[in-house]
């Protein structure tokens, strides 16, 4: 069963610091991990890379406001011959010794996230109340959560009682030289164009809090680089991948267009 959740091909990930060694230490110590950072900066890719590097299965859950505790833990299904219990992704991970990655956990309701608490301390247990079972987590099980602190609000934030059950990593966009190298390696685009794309992103990120809720992510830069590699005109590629997705404000769009033309102008 674990083979179904193993990553077969090594994901490309370029370390920014010593996060790989620190994650390995947390995993060996059986500590739950929290990864914080802006959208599209490489949080999920990092977890995929670490799961591959550690040789462990990975079960990812994209959290949302409609997700219930039963969606995580499991439920009884009604069938022709009666009922059958179906494990949820969190329960499956705890049984088989997988890394369970709850992506953007602040999107889930707080009454849902409390079900993870017994798995994040010395007990490493998951009560399955509906089934009358107390599941002891597999020795290889690890819980990982991520979220974007930029989207925190009074309604969408983790309780301190949840936060203080994890060790944490702060992620951000890579340094310009590293980000350009990532774009070039990931997409095959020339380094000169990769550097230009990063310059556009740097200009846009300076507008965060001044008209933009979020800067241009590394993920969007990869999209733009992919289009340029496919011989789309750089100006069109940037407008498609870097401007349209992040703002509808005409003034901000004009500012970004000006930055793109200054960098890529023919």
Which pLDDT belongs to residue 155? 52
Which of the listed residues 148, 170, 192 is the one where a domain comes to its end? 170
Which pLDDT belongs to residue 255? 93
Rounded Cα distance between 45 and 68, Å, is: 26
Q: Which of 143-147, 158-162, 259-263 has the lowest mean pLDDT?
A: 158-162
> Using one digit for the tens of pLDDT, what is the confidence trace for 11-60?
999 999 999 999 999 999 999 999 999 989 999 999 999 999 999 999 99
pLDDT at position 131 over 50: yes
Q: How many domains does the chain divide into?
A: 2
Q: Give kind and range of the element (H or E) at residue 96.
A: helix 89-96
Whole-structure pTM value: 0.91
CA nearest to 143, candidates 38, 41, 63: 63
Same domain, 125 and 195: no
The whole domain housing 134 covers: 2-170
Which pLDDT belongs to residue 133? 93
Work out the pLDDT band at 265, boundaries 50, 70, 90.
Answer: confident
Which of the listed residues 170, 190, 216 is the one where a domain comes to its end? 170
CA nearest to 226, candidates 193, 266, 203, 200: 193
Same domain, 199 and 115: no
CA nearest to 59, candidates 82, 104, 87, 89: 89
Rounded Cα distance between 154 and 182, Å, is: 35
Which pLDDT belongs to residue 159? 84
For the chain, the average pLDDT equals 92
- Greater model confidence, 187 or 79: 187
Which pLDDT belongs to residue 215? 87
Same domain, 155 and 188: no
Within 8 A by CB and 6+ apart from 61, the residues are: 67, 72, 89, 90, 100, 101, 102, 103
Coil, strand or helix at 232: coil
Coil, strand or helix at 212: strand
Which pLDDT belongs to residue 144? 98
Same domain, 157 and 228: no
Helix, strand and coil in the chain, % to nearest 5: 45, 15, 35
Same domain, 122 and 17: yes
The answer to whether 35 touches 2, Cβ cutoff 8 Å, is no
Same domain, 26 and 157: yes
> Using one digit for the tens of pLDDT, what is the confidence trace for 135-157?
999 999 999 999 988 765 545 67
- Give burial (CB, 10 Å; 0-12/13-18/19+) of 82: exposed
Same domain, 42 and 153: yes
Rounded Cα distance between 17 and 188, Å, is: 24
Same domain, 223 and 185: yes
Q: Which of 89-93, 109-113, 192-196, 259-263 has the lowest mean pLDDT?
A: 109-113
Same domain, 164 and 243: no
Which pLDDT belongs to residue 113? 86
Same domain, 24 and 83: yes
Which of the listed residues 155, 170, 185 is the one where a domain comes to its end? 170
- Cβ density class 163-199: b for 16+ within 10 Å, e for less: eebbeebebebbeeeebbbbbbebbebeeebbbbbbb
pLDDT at position 67 over 50: yes
Same domain, 164 and 36: yes
Which pLDDT belongs to residue 154? 44
Same domain, 209 and 137: no
Rounded Cα distance between 182 and 225, Å, is: 11
Which pLDDT belongs to residue 79? 85
Which pLDDT belongs to residue 151? 62
């Amino acid at each position: 069963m674990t083979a179904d959740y193993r990553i077969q091909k090594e994901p490309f990930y370029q370390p920014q610091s010593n996060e790989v060694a620190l994650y390995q230490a947390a995993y060996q110590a059986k500590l739950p991990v929290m990864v914080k950072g802006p959208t599209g900066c490489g949080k999920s890719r990092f977890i995929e890379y670490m799961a591959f590097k550690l040789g462990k299965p990975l079960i990812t859950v994209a959290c949302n406001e409609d997700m219930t505790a039963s969606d995580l833990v499991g439920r009884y299904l009604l069938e022709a011959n009666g009922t059958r219990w179906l494990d949820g992704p969190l329960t499956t991970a705890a049984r088989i010794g997988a890394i369970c990655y709850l992506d953007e956990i602040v999107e889930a309701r707080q009454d849902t996230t409390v079900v993870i608490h017994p798995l994040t301390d010395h007990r490493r247990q998951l009560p399955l109340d509906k089934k009358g079972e107390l599941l002891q987590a597999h020795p290889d099980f690890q819980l990982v959560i991520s979220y974007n602190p930029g989207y925190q609000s009074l309604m969408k934030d983790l309780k301190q009682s949840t936060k203080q059950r994890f060790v944490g990593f702060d992620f951000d966009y890579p340094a310009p030289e590293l980000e350009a190298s990532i774009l070039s390696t990931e997409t095959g685009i020339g380094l000169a164009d990769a550097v230009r794309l990063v310059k556009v992103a740097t200009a846009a990120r300076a507008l965060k809090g001044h008209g933009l809720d979020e800067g241009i992510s590394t993920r969007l830069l990869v999209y733009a680089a992919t289009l340029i590699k496919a011989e789309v005109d750089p100006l069109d590629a940037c407008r498609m991948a870097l401007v349209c997705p992040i703002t509808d404000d005409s003034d901000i769009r004009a500012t970004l267009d000006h930055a793109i033309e200054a960098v890529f102008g023919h």
